[in-house]
Chain A
Amino acid sequence: MGERRSASFYLLLAVFTLFVLFIYGPILTIVVLSFQGPTGGLVFPMRGVSLHWFAELFRPQSIGDIGGAFQRSLALGLITMVLTVLFSFLAGLAFRRRFRGATLLFYIAIASLIMPSIVVSLGIGAAFELLGMPRNWYGSALGAHLTWTLPFGLLIMFAVFNRFNPAYEEAARDQGASGWQTIRHVVLPIVAPSLLGVALFSFTLSYDEVARSSQATGFENTLPLELLAMQTNATTPVIYALGTLTTALSFIVIVTTITGVLWLRRRAARPRTR
């Protein structure tokens, strides 16, 4: 610190600052515009300041089934989160040892990650159609979301276990810990911050997912699909109010998780008093 910086530093700093403005600017406009007065429109200038459009959002029958869509998205996000954390942790453990088909399974996960979403969605839609099964958020859409969140979870677990020192487990085993005790008291506490990271990834990815859900959700839409349908004929700032609310929820989830991760890390770094 305190040493002289080159001209390129200031140039790069300028690029970085502009980039941050670029990624946050538009969303801030939406937040501001959602507080328009009752006569306000979709663009500036602001016509007064009010909570009118938020109230409109909660008035029954004013727009689509926002409340229901929100509940479905929240539930779906939470279910996806729990399954992703559990399945990727287990698979992460499996991949630490050799097993037949490990490489194949890994490449399938990568393929699932980079497969164009519309193809996955179309396939799931066609499968349910052929089987004569109804498509819904807790069946076909849940599966579609898992094909998107599990590869992320698995990759994070790989990154974690690649840096994991097996000496800790050996020490636990030498002290007579059972396999389960080793996982519960040694492995889990060490990887806990990363599992929180997986939870954050899987919840937010699921909560905001549209492309894979599009053909897999059936008649009862999730919130992002409802938003997508709304935006084509949106004429009032009510859509901004919805955008502000759902972004606020995302922010709360993100900040809580990041704080949790930092807290867990700090706690792990502190020497035990006993």
Chain B
Amino acid sequence: MRALAPYLQALPLALVFATFFLVPVSLVVVVSFFDYQTYQVLIPDFVFFNYVDVFTSNVTYRTYLNTLKFCLLTWAITLILGFTIAYFLAFEIRSVPLQIFCFLLCTIPFWTSNVIRMIAWIPFLGRNGLVNETLLAWGVIDAPIDWLLYSDFTVVLGYVHLYTLFMIVPIFNSMLRIDPALLEAARDQGASAFQVLTNVVIPLAKPGIAIGSIFVVAIVMGDFVTVNVLGGGQIASVGKTIATELSYLQFPPAAANAVVLLGVTILMILALIRIVDIRKEL
């Protein structure tokens, strides 16, 4: 009975993942080889034309390039910003209650609606939004700036706004484990502040950096919501392509696109995972 206990305890979790994760994701691969028609959305078959469509279309490459661009920009900005905030929280605030308060202050928006947080940019950045009105009133510009809303800029801004926290938390967690005596020792040996940062803090915060990066990369690669709300109609991303195909009930081509997206994302994550064993970091 005691030997059986862990299996029974893990069973509910395993069942949920089997039913709603493993089977569905495998089905995506299967369905990507299916045929489809207007009135029958899934016809079991083994055809390759869904993939041929994906790989022979110029739109695909442009979409991937655009998505990778978003990914790289967001990754770089959230990393630098997240690292800076985490450093401030971990090393510059010395009272623990204040540290907890500031950490919670950063975390609370994460628990509110992402959709609302995206929509909230519209009165700021629109043609008649706060930024344009202010700049016009100050005489900085003569005509409203159009690219503030519904542009690449807005999409990346939205990502940074929503997902910097995914960098802050793991990096902060790694930094809290750095013994302050190490920093002191480095300083005593004559290391400059910059040398302490590059030779002590960054190497020891690497696991957190890797975990945060995995999160950000995975989210941005598959996103279609932010691109829809803040990108307007013109901006493309892989996730949006899939979502659009699905809105026309074109399951097989959407599945083929999803398999390719998954492949690319997994390659990116594998590169990041080589740096860190996630389980040891908790």
Contact A123 B24, beta carbon cutoff 8 Å:
yes
* Inter-subunit contact B7/A99 (CB<8 Å): yes
Interface-lining segment among A52-60, A126-134, A167-175, A185-193: A126-134
Say whether A126 contacts B13, CB under 8 Å.
Answer: no
Given contacts A91-B9, A118-B222, contact A43 B88 (CB under 8 A): no
B10 pairs with A27, CB closer than 8 A: no
Q: How far is the CA of A251 from the CA of B9 in the complex (A)?
A: 33
- A1 with B13: CB separation less than 8 A: no
Q: Which residue of A lies closest to B105 (CB)?
A: A20
A75 on interface, CB distance cutoff 8 Å: no
Do the beta carbons of A88 and B223 come within 8 Å of each other?
A: no
Complex contact B282–A155 (CB within 8 A): yes
**Is A246 among interface residues, defined by CB-CB distance under 8 A?**
yes
Asked if B176 is at the interface (CB within 8 A of a chain A CB), the reply is no
Chain B nearest CB from A85 CB (Å) reads 12
Complex Cα gap A86–B251 (Å): 34
Q: B residues within 8 A CB of A126?
A: 24, 27-28, 31, 42, 251, 255
Q: How far is the CA of A130 from the CA of B114 in the complex (A)?
A: 31
Find out whether the CB atom of A204 lies under 8 angstroms from the CB atom of B111: yes
Q: Of A22, A105, A227, which is within 8 A of B116 by CB?
A: A227
Could you tell me the distance between the alpha carbons of A118 and B105 in the complex, rounded to whole angstroms? Answer: 30
Q: Is A138 an interface residue (CB 8 A)?
A: no
Residue pair A254, B111 in contact (C-beta under 8 Å): yes
At the interface with chain B, which of A62-70, A210-218, A266-274? A210-218
Q: How far is the CB of A210 from chain B (nearest CB, A)?
A: 5
Cβ A43 vs Cβ B16 within 8 A: no
Q: How large is the interface on A (under 10, 10 to 19, 20 to 34, 35 or more residues)?
A: 35 or more
In the complex, B242 has a CB within 8 A of chain A: yes
CB distance from A108 to the nearest CB of B (A): 5
Any A CB within 8 A of the CB of B215: yes
Task: Please give, as numbers and ranges, the residues of chain A lying within 8 Å of B164 by CB-CB distance.
Answer: 19, 23
Which residues of chain B come closer than 8 Å to A27, judged between CB atoms? Answer: 109, 112, 116-117, 120
- Does chain B have a CB within 8 A of A120? yes
The smallest beta-carbon distance between A29 and chain B, in angstroms, is 5
Does A37 sit at the interface, judged by CB under 8 A? no
Tell me, rounded to whole Å, the shortest Cβ–Cβ distance linking B82 to chain A: 10
Q: Which residues of B contact A239 (CB under 8 A)?
A: 119
Q: Are A99 and B10 in contact (CB under 8 A)?
A: yes
A143 interfacial contact with B, CB 8 Å: yes
Q: Is A136 interfacial (CB 8 A cutoff)?
A: no
CB distance from B87 to the nearest CB of A (A): 7
Q: Is chain A's binding surface mostly helix, strand, loop or mixed?
A: helix
- From B46-54, B58-66, B121-129, the one touching the partner chain is B121-129
Using C-beta atoms within 8 Å of the partner chain, give the interface range for chain B: 35 or more
Q: Does B151 contact A (CB under 8 A)?
A: no
Residues of A within 8 A of B206 (CB): none
Q: A27-B109, A243-B116 are in contact. Are A86 and B23 (CB under 8 A)?
A: no
| Contact between A97 and B92, CB atoms less than 8 A apart | no
Alpha-carbon separation in the docked complex, A44 to B134 (Å): 11
Q: Restricting to B5-28, which residues have a CB under 8 Å from any CB of A? A: 5-10, 12-14, 16-17, 19-28
- The 8 A CB mask of A98-124 against B (1 = contact, 0 = none) is 110110011011111011111110111
B255 with A228: CB separation less than 8 A: no
Asked, given contacts A108-B21, A228-B229, whether A116 binds B95 with beta carbons under 8 Å apart, the answer is no
A9 at interface by CB-CB < 8 Å: yes
Cα A9 to Cα B88 with chains together (Å): 8
Q: Does B115 contact A (CB under 8 A)?
A: yes
* Chain B, 76-124, CB within 8 A of any chain A CB: 81, 84-85, 87-89, 92, 94-95, 102, 104-106, 108-109, 111-117, 119-124
Given known contacts A19-B81, A122-B246, A250-B111, A108 and B17 CB-to-CB distance under 8 angstroms:
yes
User: Is the CB–CB distance between A26 and B242 below 8 Å?
Assistant: no
Interface residues of A in 220-274 (CB under 8 A from B): 224, 227-228, 231, 239-240, 243, 246-247, 250-251, 253-254, 258
- A selection of 28 A-B contacts at a CB cut-off of 8 Å is A13-B92, A15-B88, A26-B117, A43-B126, A43-B128, A43-B133, A44-B133, A86-B12, A91-B9, A91-B10, A93-B6, A95-B10, A97-B5, A108-B21, A109-B13, A114-B215, A114-B218, A118-B258, A123-B26, A126-B255, A144-B20, A150-B16, A162-B282, A210-B114, A211-B222, A214-B243, A227-B115, A253-B111
Q: Which residues of B contact A (CB under 8 A)?
A: 5-10, 12-14, 16-17, 19-28, 31, 41-42, 81, 84-85, 87-89, 92, 94-95, 102, 104-106, 108-109, 111-117, 119-124, 126, 128-130, 133, 161, 164, 193, 214-215, 218-219, 221-225, 228-229, 239, 242-243, 246, 251, 254-255, 258, 261-262, 265, 269, 278-279, 282
Nearest first, the 4 closest Cβ-Cβ pairs linking A and B are: A116-B222, A123-B24, A26-B120, A143-B20
